[in-house]
Structure 1
């Protein structure tokens, strides 16, 4: 079982307006994330928010990038755009960093690794939208960087429930502990 010392941080990834809005038909979707946030804060576990956003003019987007090239044509998703702001249901507190990334992984082009090293964090608890996107990419990169990892499976959301199941039951356990938010909370007490 993971030891959640002062060396851990909860990552809340891509919980921004433009992404959360795709899942608003399920009003309960963010409840596990809210519970994880409350428990992390109560237990003095740092919370770091990660969002995807781009500069005006989209200099970070390569036309060959299938995932992001459409954004530069459609507009929006700049760092000042409403769609890139953290959703009000999981609002950051004043001292909680909001890291901007430019690709799928939370580490891609962001200051995340610098913040983690500065705080001597070696354990990451992952939550986010989507399981097959930011969670998968961040987990893989973090594992390669030798972080201890926990995935809060009910605080991760994916449009494809079967992909979510396969990742959390078969793929992620190779590199991380996978548990529900309630099970994780029990490890804190």
Structure 2
């Protein structure tokens, strides 16, 4: 059976001048460490194998996975009501995406053992978010094993 739709996001800017972020923006400090699409720091982790004719790769210019792209449109068009999240920057990318998708009435799951807070010496922050903040929404925190079992039960994309 076809796999469920996987959507990957990369945070990068149109060009090295980062026109998406004004100099007075609070996000400018984060943006300073990132570059355009050719910057190796903006690449996906190499172990993630994006299937070019099936998976979706979206650019974003903020932490929220749907910032400045078609994420929400794709979720609606594909009749998706449940989203499973994993990735880096639990306090930024994951948390902002959880809040937004929860507000839009999606069932949201976060894979606890497949998220990380940076710098790597911030496990207390990661644990506080995963064990305290996210469950209060309520969104669900699950393991990678639970996520894989759920993916095996879910249907394919509708396109």
TM-score scaled to structure 1, two decimals? 0.70
Q: Is the 8 A contact 1:61 1:69 kept in 2?
A: no
Give the structure 2 partner of residue 127 of structure 1: 86
Give the structure 2 partner of residue 84 of structure 1: 42
> 1:130-149 CA distances to partner (integer Å, 9 max, x unpaired)?
11110000000001111111
Pick closer, same or farther for the CA change 1:71–1:104 going to 2, 3 Å.
Answer: closer
Q: In the aligned structure 2, how far is the partner of 1:112 from the partner of 1:68? A: 23
> 1:97-131 CA distances to partner (integer Å, 9 max, x unpaired)?
11111111112212111111121111100101011
Deviation at 1:71, TM superposition (A): 3.9
Q: Is the 8 A contact 1:123 1:147 kept in 2?
A: yes
Give the structure 1 partner of residue 157 of structure 2: none
Aligned residues: 146
Deviation at 1:53, TM superposition (A): 0.6
Gaps of 5+ in 1: 1-41
Give the structure 2 partner of residue 169 of structure 1: 131
Q: Is the 8 A contact 1:126 1:135 kept in 2?
A: yes
Give the structure 2 partner of residue 47 of structure 1: 6
Q: Which structure shows the higher helix fraction?
A: 1
Q: Is the 8 A contact 1:62 1:69 kept in 2?
A: no
* Counterpart check, 1:108 vs 2:94: no
Give the structure 1 partner of residue 95 of structure 2: 136
Q: In the aligned structure 1, how far is the partner of 2:107 from the partner of 2:31? A: 34
TM-score scaled to structure 2, two decimals? 0.82
Higher RCO structure, 1 or 2 (CA under 8 Å, sep 6+): 1
